[in-house]
Structure 1
């Protein structure tokens, strides 16, 4: 990426206090299992053997203890390499996805590529001296989602020039507070570190993100070297160098065909934008590289090869910055094992569905209405984004403690929350949905004129005695149970129709049978034939 087991692989557990003979009473047993008779004469030959045995046991103990100590010291050395930071820099009411039928929960990790040039090594690998001293930008952002049963996975990129709502963030290092704003998503790293980038993703998607991991230019090169490179393909000869009116470039130079790349050349591939025509082309190329790396690690059995894991651990702990709750070798090792059993045929990588920003269509993009929200809901509901069947069974929601009243006896306030920072609210939306409820027997539904803006539809209830009523409303409209929440901000059952349901009489529930979202590119992990087209000015 531009981009945890009980003990470190290869280390040994120190012996316990059990005597070497194993019976714990200090009386060694004879070969036939019987004890020496009390008072029986000792045999000198046996004494020699026992003395030799003691020396061997002592030597083995020293060897084992020494090895265990070295393993412990090396484990602490690796832990000392890891740089950690706050998981989130903002408050959020986003909740984890409910467990599946087997009690398992999905894993979401935000992968961040920083353009930090505040070191000699990073500056040498890219950028100008003018950028030294400035706060880094999060130029690469990907969300790794691994299903609850660890049988399918997806990686979703958001282009760096996507305009989003950024929540209020606090820098954990300086305690500086940044007000909520609307801006480009890559600036979030400057407004409270990686924790603010994570908080912005949660605000945008409604997906609870467990951890973040961040790497800079130097880290990419060292990780690419440790992995041993990966194969990439270009359809035409490429040189991503400066052009008249278009300065810079990654420096990538390859002839048409498939080539193994690593080190600085891997960084060039991951940074190439102009030759791949756009940031969207760059995201696709990054996904191709990541898939190639995963295939290589699986082919080499790197997930179970202790020696290679140790080499990767040494490099990764130096290259990565991580959120503090995964800031140990054990936890990072456990995290790396989550992809071990995912078939490459069920790993999908794609870029967020998007549209040009009307205010700056040549430079900025916005999440595509409808399709982007469908993608986020699929992640929230732990549904595969590759269009294939889910691999695990969803858990049936528990029945509310308080049963629902008769539909006609349930009072419901319906609010129009379909407006957003980019779109005006749908006219009379609350009245329309209240009418839908009346047709289903909820004759107590009324439109509420209270102004509201809500990205996602929510069904709110103030107390336990109304929980059953709220769930009955959700079931009638096919709204997912994850949208039903207890809230002190309402006095009765309240339906806020969000920007995810601007039109239509049926709630647009995500369905994996509908295939991958539109307005995006999907690269599957088992597709070895992917090859990048080169923008004509950058061919040679």
Structure 2
């Protein structure tokens, strides 16, 4: 949020807005000590930030509550869905959208008419007890059979065969994306979270940047990214470039980008608890305001109270307790820019999650990887 001299109503202990925020410069830093526990932030969502304030966000409840956007997934999809798990686990579909509407037009991606695509998709399975999570990234370039669906506005969309996974979102929004994932996995998505690129960039800047260590130089003019090998405190713009690049690392595919995204999410998780939120009401407010403006949820999470309660249950999940994999796929022999689902291996992934068990290593061994693993170290 821009700085000015006008006090912000309802922010105790502050005489006014803070001065210009010091932005991260991407310079090298000594790595911080390992082993600190973080709050789960799955993929692009800002939901976990809200819980850090606990009851402290109550004084601005109405402001933050008004920021949130929600979609009634249950009403759109009706009863023709997989049943809820009865083993204490939960599944959350997390999407990052690349619309050019609003503040995203300068960031590229999306479509010229302002409509959106799902640029990033992660299925977050929170295991019983909420002490660990399994995260499955779904490559946007996977060719799938998209089911017929009804969007949140009541519009109907026909089924389609052999289309890219991210066409579900661009066709029918959040509801069709959830329907497609449930059809693909046979698992019910208990919650839905989405954050756009502009919101993600602002959130990283509000956090003061995120520290990562790269094992090789990464240069991608299309993503405005130029990093030498080493440790960096990334600005929001640099972080966005990192998680969007597909030409600067690996084989240039979406699979390589997914590996960077997974490594970055773990770095972000470790960052959150290190910034002294409880000592600064101003910082807490800024983070909560940015987070609630950036995120779109399903209707059951569409209030600060609900989002806070949900996120509070994830506090025990540290980066070391997150197993992040990519949905098993193989390169499409007819088009190197597309991948095909490895159905047998993928089924082992879904079966493990349905039964709330860890994903077996054999389920993902031998799948296409994008050759970018280890470019970012924790």
Q: Normalised by the shorter chain, which TM-score bucket? A: 0.7 to 0.9
Equivalence for 1:90: 77
Using the size of structure 2 for normalisation, the TM-score is 0.78
1:77 counterpart (38, 57, 63) = 63
Contact 2:123 2:135 (C-alpha < 8 Å) held by counterparts: yes
Equivalence for 2:343: 369
The structure-2 alpha-carbon separation of the partners of 1:161 and 1:75, relative to structure 1 and needing over 3 Å to count, comes to: same
Equivalence for 1:404: none
SS in 1 for 2:320: helix
2:243 matches 1:270: yes
Contact 1:178 1:191 (C-alpha < 8 Å) held by counterparts: yes
Q: 1:410-429 deviations in whole A, cap 9, x for unaligned?
A: xxxxxxxxxxxxxxxxxxxx
Q: How does 1:389-408 map to 2 (within 5 A)?
A: none
Contact 2:219 2:248 (C-alpha < 8 Å) held by counterparts: yes
Unaligned runs of 5+ in 2: 1-42
| Structure with the higher fraction of residues in strand conformation | 2
Contact 1:9 1:306 (C-alpha < 8 Å) held by counterparts: no
Contact 2:204 2:239 (C-alpha < 8 Å) held by counterparts: yes
Contact 1:152 1:384 (C-alpha < 8 Å) held by counterparts: no
The structure-2 alpha-carbon separation of the partners of 1:222 and 1:134, relative to structure 1 and needing over 3 Å to count, comes to: closer
* CA distance in structure 2 between the partners assigned to 1:190 and 1:336 by the alignment: 28
2:321 matches 1:339: no
1:225 Cα deviation after fit: 1.5
SS in 1 for 2:92: strand
2:296 matches 1:315: no
Contact 2:346 2:363 (C-alpha < 8 Å) held by counterparts: no
Unaligned runs of 5+ in 1: 13-70, 100-104, 242-248, 386-511, 523-528, 534-540
Equivalence for 2:129: 149
Q: 1:435-494 deviations in whole A, cap 9, x for unaligned?
A: xxxxxxxxxxxxxxxxxxxxxxxxxxxxxxxxxxxxxxxxxxxxxxxxxxxxxxxxxxxx
Equivalence for 1:107: 90
SS in 1 for 2:335: coil
Which 10-residue stretch deviates more, 280-289 or 366-375? 366-375
Equivalence for 2:375: 531
The structure-2 alpha-carbon separation of the partners of 1:222 and 1:520, relative to structure 1 and needing over 3 Å to count, comes to: farther
* CA distance in structure 2 between the partners assigned to 1:141 and 1:11 by the alignment: 29
1:334 Cα deviation after fit: 1.9
Contact 1:202 1:208 (C-alpha < 8 Å) held by counterparts: yes
Q: 1:42-101 deviations in whole A, cap 9, x for unaligned?
A: xxxxxxxxxxxxxxxxxxxxxxxxxxxxx2xx20111111111122543533011122xx
1:339 Cα deviation after fit: 2.5
Higher gyration radius (CA)? 1
The structure-2 alpha-carbon separation of the partners of 1:177 and 1:11, relative to structure 1 and needing over 3 Å to count, comes to: closer
The structure-2 alpha-carbon separation of the partners of 1:530 and 1:516, relative to structure 1 and needing over 3 Å to count, comes to: same
2:105 matches 1:132: no
Between 1 and 2, higher relative CO (CA 8 Å, sep ≥ 6) is seen in: 2
Please report the RMSD computed on the Cα atoms of aligned residues, expressed in angstroms.
2.6
Contact 2:269 2:318 (C-alpha < 8 Å) held by counterparts: no
* CA distance in structure 2 between the partners assigned to 1:118 and 1:187 by the alignment: 18
* CA distance in structure 2 between the partners assigned to 1:81 and 1:520 by the alignment: 41
2:56 counterpart (2, 7, 10) = 10
1:517 Cα deviation after fit: 2.6
Contact 2:151 2:174 (C-alpha < 8 Å) held by counterparts: no
2:365 counterpart (506, 518, 523) = 518
Using the size of structure 1 for normalisation, the TM-score is 0.55
1:180 counterpart (159, 162, 165) = 159
Q: How does 1:204-223 map to 2 (within 5 A)?
A: 204-223=184-203
Contact 1:144 1:153 (C-alpha < 8 Å) held by counterparts: yes
Q: 1:206-240 deviations in whole A, cap 9, x for unaligned?
A: 11111111111211111111222222232332220
Equivalence for 1:122: 104
SS in 2 for 1:172: coil
Q: 1:282-312 deviations in whole A, cap 9, x for unaligned?
A: 001011110001112244576x778455443
Contact 1:87 1:324 (C-alpha < 8 Å) held by counterparts: yes
2:149 counterpart (159, 169, 180) = 169
Q: 1:363-388 deviations in whole A, cap 9, x for unaligned?
A: 22122132111011111111122xxx
